[in-house]
Amino acid sequence: MARLIKPPGKFEILGILVGLDGKNPLQLIELAGRTAYQSYHKISPGSAEKFVKMLRDRGHESVLEHSSMSVQLFNVSRGFTHQLVRHRLASFTQESTRYVDKRELTLVLPPRRDPEEEIELTLPGGRKLNITIEDWANLNEQVYRELRNRGWVPEDARQFLPIGTSTQIVITTNFREWRHIFKLRCAPDAHWEIRLIMVQLLKEVQKLVPVIFDDFKIAEDESYAVRKEGS
């Protein structure tokens, strides 16, 4: 039986780049940024937060590129990852449907949609067939399994997998690009699946590195996030 899962998928922050001395990412960015002004002598406890906030607020975002974050995403759909990989400044590694067998099919359901909802299909010849979304998912799984049982390799059988098929991906990119991704993908007009997970990830990074991300405001019901007025 195919598994139907509700969004959002899960994420795990794999790492955030800090200096070799184990300094926090803000100190790394401060060190790089102070090269411009030759003001290393101003480095003191708490100076990194102020300095990085100044850079961010003035729009000197290139300096934020000196630290980066890697995130692993689970139980997101191929549709989701197709959107994510459009971000050209990021690096990705994704589960391969050419090599990994998808006989245990897992699909990401749209929120608020009932897997028991019935649809009427018309078969060639005009015969009507009523099936639920769940039946349709199971039929997809059966088609894939049958092709694999007949000796089709995964890279051939995958042609018949739906775009809602779940997948895993790792993304690494710098903080400036993460800000760009959050701006586009947490916005009210972004697709629900990427928006739901990106808002949760934003919430998490606002705790870890607030100065980089706290100019985004998350809606009370956490359904979207936007840059705060004037920032």
Ligand X SMILES: Cc1cc2nc3c(=O)[nH]c(=O)nc-3n(C[C@H](O)[C@H](O)[C@H](O)COP(=O)(O)OP(=O)(O)OC[C@H]3O[C@@H](n4cnc5c(N)ncnc54)[C@H](O)[C@@H]3O)c2cc1C
Q: Tell me, what amino acid is at 144? A: Y
Least Å from the CB of residue 158 to ligand X: 22
CA quadruple 130, 133, 134, 136: dihedral positive or negative? Answer: positive
Largest CA distance in the chain: 82
Write out the residues near ligand X by the rule CB under 6 A: 86-89, 177, 180, 184, 189-190
Give CA–CA dist 18/66, Å, rounded: 9
Non-local (6+) Cβ contacts of 152 within 8 A are none
Query: Judged by CB, which is closer to ligand X: 190, or 201?
Result: 190
Q: Apex CA 211: angle with CA 225 and CA 221, to 5°? A: 25
Query: Judged by CB, which is closer to ligand X: 40, or 92?
Result: 92
Query: Judged by CB, which is closer to ligand X: 3, or 86?
Result: 86
Query: Judged by CB, which is closer to ligand X: 140, or 173?
Result: 173
The question of whether 179 is a catalytic residue gets the answer no
Least Å from the CB of residue 88 to ligand X: 4
Q: Apex CA 203: angle with CA 5 and CA 32, to 5°? A: 125
Phi, psi of 8 (to 5 degrees): -80, 155
Give CA–CA dist 79/87, Å, rounded: 14
Write down the catalytic residue from 145, 185, 195, 227: 185
Place of tokens 């088609």: 143
Least Å from the CB of residue 68 to ligand X: 14
Least Å from the CB of residue 82 to ligand X: 10
Residues with catalytic function: 185
